[in-house]
Amino acid sequence: MQRMIAVDKLARPEDHILVPAERSRKARVEQGLTPNGAMPYEEDFLKARLHGICAGEFQAMEAAGRTLFDFPDSPWEFQLDMARQVWDESRHAEIYMKLLDYTGSFYGEFPESEVLWSCTQAEDPAARVAGINRGLEGLACDVFEQLIRLAQNMGDEVIERSVDYVLADEITHVRMGSKWMRKLTEGDPERFKKAQDFQNNIDELFSFGGTRTTVERAGKIKQHVNGKDIEIDQGITIARESRLLAGFTEEEIDRLVKGFGKSQAY
């Protein structure tokens, strides 16, 4: 079997659309929509946000499985952690499919971005866990914490508790990424730096030009979500508490808040 498979090899139903983020942005603009979906001011914000996460959970499951397959000579404990992650992510994918159903949507209603999968195109398992577990799953902590607050504002305990349950797992995945990024590169600073650069690119991409901020400083907008008028954050805030639990340092979090997009691995 081939290593580092391309995104179009992922098994999806025929009516699913899986495209580079740039292509879906272009298609949205051509249809007179805003370039990025799942924006707080859009009517289908919640569905689109849950959909983006659901697709991320599927790709996280597939990516951990591929890392397990692609690096058969990696330490046994690393392989066991990756196998455990496949199991966790499969439960997350099921939970988000149910939440999509709960909000009147379904997996496949929106295009799926290939952004997580692009992190599997790295020859080094240390870079993969840096990009996926620390970069993207760090971002997941931000998105999930925000979603929990949104659900609390809506008075929706189903979404609140479901996402809280998944967030607890993601925190362990980030920690796992930090541990293996360090262990796999032990005694090889150059390899460590390469993995860190790989993560920096992800952090930079998702700093959205340095526009992200803290929960306290986030601008608010009014939105009608699932029959309720609520106030929500304008952008994706940075979840200091969850990131600290996940093992990011204060310094790393401050850098994200300042929009540098560069983080020192812990």
Give residues in contact with Fe ion (CB under 5 A): 57, 60, 89, 92, 137, 170, 173
Based on its alpha-carbon atoms, the radius of gyration of the chain, rounded to whole angstroms, reads 18
Closer residue to Fe ion in complex, CB, 167/223: 167
CB of 206 to Fe ion, least distance (A): 16
- What number of other Cβ atoms are within 10 A of residue 62's Cβ? 22
Choice between 145 and 170, CB closer to Fe ion:
170
CA 187 to chain centre: 30
Instruction: Choose between 92 and 128: whose C-beta lies nearer to Fe ion.
Output: 92
- Residue 24, CA distances (Å) to 28, 154, 208 in order: 6, 29, 17
- Rounded least distance, CB 203 to Fe ion, Å: 17
- Give the tokens for residue 100: 């999509």
Residue 245 burial by Cβ neighbours in a 10 Å radius (0-12, 13-18, 19+): middle
Which residues partner with 228 through β-bridges? 225
What totals of helices (H) and strands (E) does the chain contain, helices first? 10, 4
Shortest Cβ distance from residue 26 to Fe ion (Å)?
28
Q: How far is the CB of 87 from Fe ion (least distance, A)?
A: 11
Closer to Fe ion by CB, 175 or 212: give it. Answer: 175
Closest CB to Fe ion among 63 and 253? 63
Give the shortest CB-189-to-Fe ion separation in angstroms.
28
Confirm if 56 and 95 have CB atoms less than 8 A apart: no
Smallest distance from Fe ion to CB 141, Å: 10
At 153 the three-state DSSP class reads: helix
Least Å distance, CB 129 to Fe ion, is: 11
108 Ramachandran zone, left/alpha/beta (phi>0; psi -120 to 50): left
**Closest C-alpha to 148, from 130, 166, 131, 136:** 166
Minimal distance in Å, beta carbon 117 to Fe ion?
Answer: 14
Residue among 134 and 173 whose Cβ is closer to Fe ion: 173
Q: What is the four-CA torsion angle of 135, 185, 179, 214, rounded to 10 degrees? A: -30
Closest CB to Fe ion among residues 79, 234 = 79
The closest alpha carbon to 243, from 138, 111, 110, 131, belongs to 138
Of the pair 70, 223, the CB lying nearest Fe ion is at 70
